[in-house]
Amino acid sequence: MMALLDGCFGKGIFISATGTELGKTVLASGIAHWMHIHKLGETALWKPVQSGVELGTLEADSYRLLKGSGLTNVGERDLVTWTLREPLAPWAAAKREGLEISMSELVVEGERRLQAADRLVVEGAGGVAVPLDARHTMADLAAALQLPMLIVAAPLLGTVSHTVTAVQYARSKGVKDVAVVFGAMLIKPAAEWNKTAYEQQLYENTEMIQSIAEVPVVGAVPYLPHPNRLDEDMWINWRKDWLRETAHLTALYDWLNVRL
């Protein structure tokens, strides 16, 4: 593991997860939009690595981050460092293309981005232990930049074990400040959805994770999928919906306010 930097050059958070497809990009773009609207100074976004996509497509995290955040002072290409073709972990996807991701270069770039903006939201790829190379994972990058980590967890059966393991792994890599939020997932069709049972399960999972992992669980993000069309009005409406539908998540925004 790389040694920690002497100190952070700005404020930021690192959004990771217990796995993939849990709503990290939705959350990262929504948080960035909230900061852009409600805080003074410059908000910045960074996706160190994305795989299995091409720039500019609806599926690219970089595109969805840009449109979801509503940031207008950057282009999509500015938000991402590595875009790899194969839908694999960054280490494997880079090897398929005969490339090698440099951890030290990513740390320097993260350092530069922290210097340049008042606040930086970093979205990792996949979960906390997804490898960048043979020795370093997403948690190593967050630790090297000394960023607080917000771990997105599934609001489902099995989440306690997965989340506790992810928290402990992040801490083992040197991430000192960790919180958990339940992700924006479509769990069941509306006709089969039992709101009371779901809320009871959230309460129980929150209690167990907070007790065992000793981290705050700062809420559950509502299901607000990004638009699946290249329609600017739809993105404008999505950003409005995000601010309205997450206004009740006071624990999440309190956690963010302290760190950003």
Catalytic site positions: 47
CA dist 4 and 185 (Å) reads 34
Q: Print burial letters for 193-215: b (CB count within 10 Å at least 16), e (below 16).
A: eeeeeeeebbeebbebbeeebeb
In this structure, what DSSP letter does residue 192 have?
G
Helices and strands, counts by H and E, the chain: 10, 7
CA dist 44 and 132 (Å) reads 22
CA dist 167 and 221 (Å) reads 19
CA dist 225 and 40 (Å) reads 27
In this structure, what DSSP letter does residue 80 have?
E
Q: CA distances (Å), 187 to each of 60, 63, 193, 248, in order?
A: 23, 25, 8, 21
Please name the residue that has the structure tokens 């280490």.
91
